[in-house]
Structure 1
Amino acid sequence: MRVVAASLSGQSDAEWARRASEYVDRAILGGVALDEPSREAARELVARGREEFLPTDPLGFVNDQLAALSRDGIGTGFNVRSTSPGPVRAAAEICRNHDAIPEINAHCRQAELCRVGCGEALLRDTDRLSEQVRAAAETGARVSVKVRAEVPGVDLVETARAIEDAGAAIVHVDAMDSEPVIREVNEVSDLFVIANNEVRGRESAHEYFALGADAVSVGRPSDDPRVLARVREAVDAWDREASA
């Protein structure tokens, strides 16, 4: 796994993943709110014009989307939000059954989500985040956590240590404007590090690999085949040069 299509709220569904699959090794669908507090927050976001997935049965939605892509042989994951561990465990079980990666969202910074304890709020409460990681990891799934740099009062190095101790295998880092955090996280853990933010081609992808990233992810331009093709070419070039 070297190139990943990163989840985009209300947009990253099975059809999106199929369109990206020529260029990426794995597509992370979602995010989707699983429990009632997170779903209410998502409804508030929709009311002010943001795109969100709000299926009647969120776990059924996760299963149906992954099942459709499993038949196509597309590598997948699912980004999920919850205020409690139970729904995360249930989603992780579904992901495990489809050889998909459950990704816990400790990333979204919208006030509605943070107010109920989702997204970025989990970065400020490592104990709660670790509970969700443990719940997902207990299913046997390979667990990812999506995090964000430059959150005041949050040390991503300590977060990386905590989620690894709780059973996470992957950390998906939105580096913001703090790219060296990729090296810092890589140096203190054995987590598989996916670097995200402004990955557009050779310069950005190679910078992240030089900092120790194991993979890069494409976010907003993930529906643009021109960007995906540039990133794929850049990653393949890095790997060729590294093995020469």
Structure 2
Amino acid sequence: MSDNEAVAEARDGGAERATGQSGKAAGSQTLARGLLALELVAGQPRGMAVQDVAQHLGVHRTIAYRILVTLAEHHLVVRASDGRYRAGSGTVTLARGYAAGVREAALPVLRRTAEQLGATVALVTAEGNEAVAVAVAEPLSVNYLLSYRVGSRNPVGVGAAGLALAALRPPEPDESPEVTQAREQGYARTFGRIEPGAYGVAVPLHLVDPALHMCVNLITWREDVADASLPTMRAVAEEISGLG
């Protein structure tokens, strides 16, 4: 730590003490800063530099660095080779807990929708650059259907679900036109991208936690089912978003 940074940190700390804050209040402020820093970093796929975090928090660079180091010790952020901080593996554990709650709440809706549309419907979440099916419902009234198992993985940006999940991310200069279109339309539709001869229709969820990217995805062999499914799938996405 440089002399200037040490002086700045002491000044910031002294200012807090001068206001008469108790240890409890100071601890709450530190926690709030840490949570905000985590939220900022997690919301930026390209990561954030220490100075960027400091500016958003309104604190000196040294304090921001100390917060990021603490988060890194708990694997909530990771410092990349370019010096920028990105979401770490620990956030996956937190997201899985939240995602599990969304999954349980969504299952009855998925089952109802599968029966209504006569097609397989899945809840898909982004884990890194993979789209993972966390819940699947299949209609009981259909003899022939497209099976899709829980745990199925495909790249984000590929297939209807992958495109819908990619559309939830900030725009990228080099993103595919399909991702841009999915973001503008609010849904993605594909044919034969994952399974030859199969249609996919996916609508992203807009959850309380914007860092958790999920979508509902319909998979069917039938073009007429895919054609008629969008209004229902939009309504289902809105309903499940309200549950989470």
User: TM-score, normalization: structure 2?
Assistant: 0.27
Greater RCO, CA 8 A, separation 6+: 1
Structure label with greater radius of gyration: 2
